Structure 1
Amino acid sequence: MNHLKTNINTDSSGGVKLEGIDLSFGNTHVLKGIDLQIKPGEFFAFLGPSGCGKTTLLRVIAGFESAQAGRVLIGDQDISHLPPWKRDLGMVFQSYALWPHMTVRKNVAFGLEERRMPRKEINKRVDKALELVSLGDLADRRPSQLSGGQQQRVALARTIVIEPKVLLLDEPLSNLDAKLRVQMRLELRELQRTLSVTTIFVTHDQEEANTTSDRIAVLNDGIVQQVDTPANLYDNPSNLFVANFLGVTNVVPGIVMEENNKLFFRSSDNKIIVPLSKGTQGSSNIVFRPQNLRIRPEEAEPVNGATKLIGKVDHMEFIGSLVRYRVRVGEYFILVDAAHQKGEDTLSVGKSIALYLNNDQVIQLSH
């Protein structure tokens, strides 16, 4: 996608505020008192599993669903009771929703024509939007003559050409193959930075959310679990749901207790004992990532600042850039990632090994 400056006058003052959004469909409580503030010009993601309420929340912002309680504000304006076409928002749907009988140019121009804009202004805006998404040479084709990635760009161009205050994206990459998704999420982020338009992106894919977003709201069961930057969510999850949803995680249940004025975690089988710099005593869990461990021979000496665990390789997966081992330590299975180097042998199932867990990478979570 071209690195362009644009005359498309998207209004970066369009921050979004959600206050007490509550919505039920019959007896099903879908959104439960959602409070969120999205900064002007921010790329913000709603992330969560299917059925968590993220798309419904986006539709409430767009005006396609009405909440029973709460308000939606764009800047200082309460838009809660305005119909979708008066909210000054642009939405890209999962299906792209292109007119199959219209050319690319006609699809992009459609919203401006509906607004009875002068033809000269329409042509100018459409040319600029097509240039932004690198589709100027394909303006006379129909959607059926385009690839999935090109169709997605048409949907984006059709949305940005109306100069919305806020851009809403409902899983726009889900219909693309894996390689194209990676390419398109980079182009999407580049376009958003060029336009400086407030953007809300719905996805169930944590990698997509992590690579595109300034901040993420993790949703589950209609409730915002945590809001933060991708790195802070990954490193400091507020609960077990967030820890498990943001990447592969080891969770070990047990108890935290004080011994000789120091805090320790003990697993229920006493095979995993980890010193903690801070924490709360009582029944709890420790959480750590597969890359927080190192594999060494069983007889290796202890390492300062790390807990040595003895286990046996139970399973191995070759992922390309890394090898993921499942290691049985006492009653628990621990996932360990080892970087793969050409010509290096993998560990055989049943082999006894030592794992070194970096103590400063361990966090305590009670729920």
Structure 2
Amino acid sequence: MASVGPNRYGKEGVRVVRVRRSPYNGDTFDEWTVRVLIDGDFVSSYVDGDNTKVLPTDTMKNTVYYVASRTRAITIEDFAKELVNYLIEHHSQIAGAQVRVERKEWSHMVTSNNSRHPTSFVQATQEVQFTTVKRPRHGAFSIVSGLKDLMVMKTAKTSFTNFYRDALTTLTDSRDRLFGTAITAKWTYEDASSIIDFDRARQQIRSGMLDVFCDHESESVQHTLHAMAKYVLERVPTISQIHLTMPNIHCLPVDLTRFGEQNKNEIFMPIDDPHGYIQCTINRSTMTKTLTTHILDLSCGRPAANVPVRVENLLNGEWVLMPTTANTNTDGRAVDLVPADKWQAGQWRIIFDIASYMPDGFYPSVTIEFRTKDSAHYHVPLLLNKFGYSTYRGS
């Protein structure tokens, strides 16, 4: 006997252009492509041809435009969360919804006199940003965001040597090759229901990957991929893992001896196929923990969420701000507050912006200063109420 298994359906390729007009700061221009998928009580539509519970995909398309017209969301993640919520809240037969949004990169034109034009835009790259947001009716959000087609190339600090060889290996060692790739990166947010500055996180991830790519002494694509992912996880505490795909786009040296010329490693022939294909997922759980904290609001017996936290290290008599800043998540926690390469024995302090969480509290901010004897994991919690606080070394 046949039975209906897991199923879902939706609308693919809903294209949206949104212009937000401002006479003061100039317009903004967004181009999105949206996919909506829903699952729920739709077995009768498959078995009996009963469409009474089927939400037409044309209605889904209209819903995308309707929510886009009403939303105040700046990021594609926040827009997708609103769209998911709307679908679940307005249709009782939907058990869960998933929305994927792709965003093309448009920026303001800069004119010949080096001024930013307020109402004209240019698409200077084929890079695409994307997110997939999911939520069951009685569950929490999950968000996986990323980017694709980020084309990069380096002409130095790249080699491939001492690799495994068998009887069919013809490739020779190279210590001065070109390294080109089209980066696809996908990262998972640890607590998708908390308040996150998604655009800031995206920019931190993108710039961090590029910084490492530029300066890394690469022994292989795999070697650089891992260094990029590790760097990002150390500096962006809101994500729990990152998946990178980096095809090795080859540029082969051209043999110029046939023409009586010497190739001084300057003339190459780019080829699209065949090419190497490398991908890997790096999880935060596999990395060394540094400094973590947890805030418990004793006045209500609950974790204190969305409290800004920053860390400083006393170096040569001056307090130096660490590059990683964070807000506590819905469990009141902030993790990996110091990059692993900066975590060391010394004098540290955590600064909590309490006023943003408890505006009528007696202490607008709390600073906890402490010493570490090594680079092991330290957990420094904060117990808080309106008129006092305490702390201890946790585990």
Q: Using CA pairs under 8 Å that are at least 6 residues apart, name the structure with larger relative contact order, 1 or 2.
A: 1
TM bin (shorter chain): under 0.3
Bigger fraction of residues in helix: 1
When normalised by structure 2's length, the TM-score is: 0.26
TM-score by length of 1: 0.27
